[in-house]
Structure 1
Amino acid sequence: MTLSSKKVLFLESYSAAVYGAQKSMLSLAHGLQHKMNMDVVISTSREGKLSKRCKELDLECHIYPIPSKAMRSRKDLSIIEKFYLPILVFFAWFKNVSLLQSMRESDSICVNDIRSFLYYLPFLYINKKKVIWYVRINDRIKFITGLAARLSYKILLISSDCKGSFTEQELSKYRGKFEVLHTGFEFHTTQNEISKTHSNNDTVFITVGSICRRKNTLAVIEAFNRIELKDKFLYVLGSPTSQEDEKYLEEVEAFVEKACITSQVCFISSTPFVDQYLAFSDYFLFASHKEGLPRVLIEALLNNCYVISSRVDGVTDIIKNDNLGLYTNSRAIEPNFKNEFDELIKKALVHEEKSDSRCFVKESFSYNAFLDGFYSFLK
């Protein structure tokens, strides 16, 4: 089979965000289609930011709807809702039977999030010899993780830490399926097409990502509030993607107002100019609870930001030395994280020797290597 004849279907149930895993998937899909002449289709659960971005990138996008209640976290469901959940998913299978034809026409099916194994289970089972599972986060889901590993002919891990999603028995049983494939980046020259909100004298901090409890946005802003600098400014790039996250944003905004730092914090809910904001900034603050390979940290380094991060999966693959950034020994959920994070920010402010992080990213996270690596795993 020639390169140009390959057709790849990407499955992604999330529809309201284009950060992190979704952004990496779109970058990969765009490169496969426009640089390697493959036929690429993106599937998602509803119209939203993801489908809109597909159109902007000239990527074909299909909608295979999933009921909103079925997509909520189980911990947020009532007992009655948990009872009806299997029924909702069962009927969604019938509603999305047309997906089967799209899978049959595809040479490979790349599953971008583990929930898709549940939402589209019978279709994936029928086409299991084509399934590539790209594990983007170290998150084990009871029953589904083992099933997904069994159904996949190849399991790509975005970082070596993602092996923590699997039991020792699974790692041994499916050892021939596992490979690590880091996200790769295209390197564009940043052009300042936006007006800055901060003043020239400010030390500028930034954080990027969906505003939610997992990303721990409030902890970043609380840490910023404790920084003992007169001239400081924080950009918060991101937006909530669910009703639960909307409530969390209200908590974040309430803290900003109570702390009297509204003039020092700028919320940017949606922007195509993330790189430009990063280029404005001196320090990137990241306090996430859980990641696979934090893409935003790589983007920050690409724009020569100095990184201060929580200890999350994948961070050791990125922050190789103190001249690129610092990360805590504790995870964000641990009691001593707050003090440790504060101390690292203080250390960063006086750290004089910094690496050319853009050069490091170019060497370590090549976009062409990303595309070639993924292609080598296609059947």
Structure 2
Amino acid sequence: MPNINYFFYDAYHCDYAGAQKSMVLLANSLSRSGENVSCMTVMGSNIDLHLEPSITRCYLPQFFYKIAKPRILNILFSVLFSFCFFFKQKNKNTIFIGNEELGFLSLLPLRLFLAKVIWYVRSSDKLGFMDNFMFYSSSHVFSMTKSMLEERFTRLDSSKVSILSSVFTPPINMNEEQLLADKFVFKDKLCFGVFGAIVPRKNIIEAIDGFVSADLNDSVLIIVGPKVSGFEYYFNSIVTYIDELSLFDKVFVLENYSSIYSLYSKVDVLLLTSIDEGIPRVILEGLYFDKPVISSNVGGIKEAFSEFISIGMLKLYNKHNISKLSELISESKAMKRCKTKNLVLQVFCEKKHRELFLLGIKKL
């Protein structure tokens, strides 16, 4: 299919979490390789700022993100602007890529006009009957792992599925030697770290419970991540929980810490206790910094990180199994420590990700 234009769309235009980063990395990679790429976004948003200059922007009004908080409004506005792009474009040979569920649903009505609409699946979060409806309505489905799809869909049509490896690029403008405030330099203590947005699906209370149950002397737990709009109650509940258990000298919450990557050098073991994930960037980043990880076995983690499990740098437990989590934390001093930076770059390389995507496009 010559002269293809790849049109990326995400309904949460101003966020820049793991799913949005993956979309931007793929769009940038395609653009750098000479492909025609467009992306619908809000001017000045995090997605806009991280896209390559060569990518054509289709800007939504600034007020869109503010008024489209209810999901149905988000989808309706998204459909409207998607139709505008579809009918105005000069290149009719366009493949539309919807990132996550809302992005895909926003583009799905274009199927009525025989447009090729792809669902870029990034999580194993189930939506019931809607999952199968969207799967069979799509032109094609891309996923980071097969296991994520098997968790969501009752029957898979392999001809409509392509598996991509995830992609990782090292943080830019990173100063690994940046000094931290003295109170966050834990000398002679085993430091556990929870990184990521502080939202309910991260299940951070479980990390605290597992850490407390392990009852390790000379150990601390740091929780690093932003307070997310709409989930302030969850952030506050964690702070309250720490106070109730009198853990003020053992558990620390660092909101929006400016030198987040320098904190990896201070952490001995990373914890991820999520109840739902795709391919968590915190695991990628942790392994890039040669840090062992203890994680809940959700989404595509076991499949995507098999090489790291085999060498002992990643230990898994079934979510909500506090006793197993506590056991792994107790045994963490004995976890294997080895250099995994180069392996991360090798397994999750940009070129491999792009080539698998283009191979899947040929199935259309």
Per the normalisation by structure 2, the TM-score is 0.82
Q: Deviations along 1:327-361, whole A, 9 cap, x unmatched?
A: 11x223xxxx111111111122233x334322332
Q: Secondary structure of the residue that 1:327 maps to in structure 2?
A: strand
Alpha-carbon distance in 2 for matches of 1:145, 1:162: 12
Q: Which residue matches 1:327?
A: 316
Identity of aligned residues (%): 23
Aligned CA-pair RMSD: 3.1
Q: Secondary structure of the residue that 1:98 maps to in structure 2?
A: helix
Is 2:12 the partner of 1:25? no
Q: CA deviation at 1:280?
A: 2.8
Q: CA deviation at 1:273?
A: 4.7
Aligned residues: 348
Q: CA deviation at 1:143?
A: 4.2
| Structure 1: 5+ residue stretches without partners | 72-84
Alpha-carbon distance in 2 for matches of 1:232, 1:101: 60
Is 2:266 the partner of 1:280? yes
Q: Which residue matches 2:7?
A: 9
Q: Which residue matches 1:344?
A: 328
Asked if the contact 1:118–1:144 (Cα under 8 Å) also holds between the matched residues in 2, the reply is no
Q: Secondary structure of the residue that 2:357 maps to in structure 1?
A: helix
123, 132, 139: which is aligned to 2:110? 123
Is 2:208 the partner of 1:221? yes
Q: Secondary structure of the residue that 1:377 maps to in structure 2?
A: helix
Is 2:198 the partner of 1:233? no
Is 2:357 the partner of 1:374? yes
Q: Which residue matches 1:70?
A: 70
Alpha-carbon distance in 2 for matches of 1:286, 1:166: 21
Alpha-carbon distance in 2 for matches of 1:362, 1:145: 32
Q: Secondary structure of the residue that 2:120 maps to in structure 1?
A: strand
Alpha-carbon distance in 1 for matches of 2:163, 2:85: 28
Q: Deviations along 1:39-90, whole A, 9 cap, x unmatched?
A: 433335x678xx234314445363374754532xxxxxxxxxxxxx5x8855
Structure 1 residues 307 and 39: alpha-carbon distance in aligned structure 2, compared to 1, 3 A threshold: same
Q: Deviations along 1:276-306, whole A, 9 cap, x unmatched?
A: 3223321110000011222321221111111
Give the alignment of 1:310-321 within 5 angstroms: 310-317=296-303, 318=305, 319-321=308-310
Structure 1 residues 198 and 156: alpha-carbon distance in aligned structure 2, compared to 1, 3 A threshold: same
| Structure 2: 5+ residue stretches without partners | none
Structure 1 residues 246 and 104: alpha-carbon distance in aligned structure 2, compared to 1, 3 A threshold: farther
Q: Deviations along 1:4-49, whole A, 9 cap, x unmatched?
A: x54322111124532221222222222222x3133433335x678x
The amino acid across from 2:298 in the alignment is: V
Q: CA deviation at 1:158?
A: 0.9
Q: CA deviation at 1:362?
A: 2.9
Alpha-carbon distance in 1 for matches of 2:74, 2:351: 41
Alpha-carbon distance in 2 for matches of 1:283, 1:263: 18
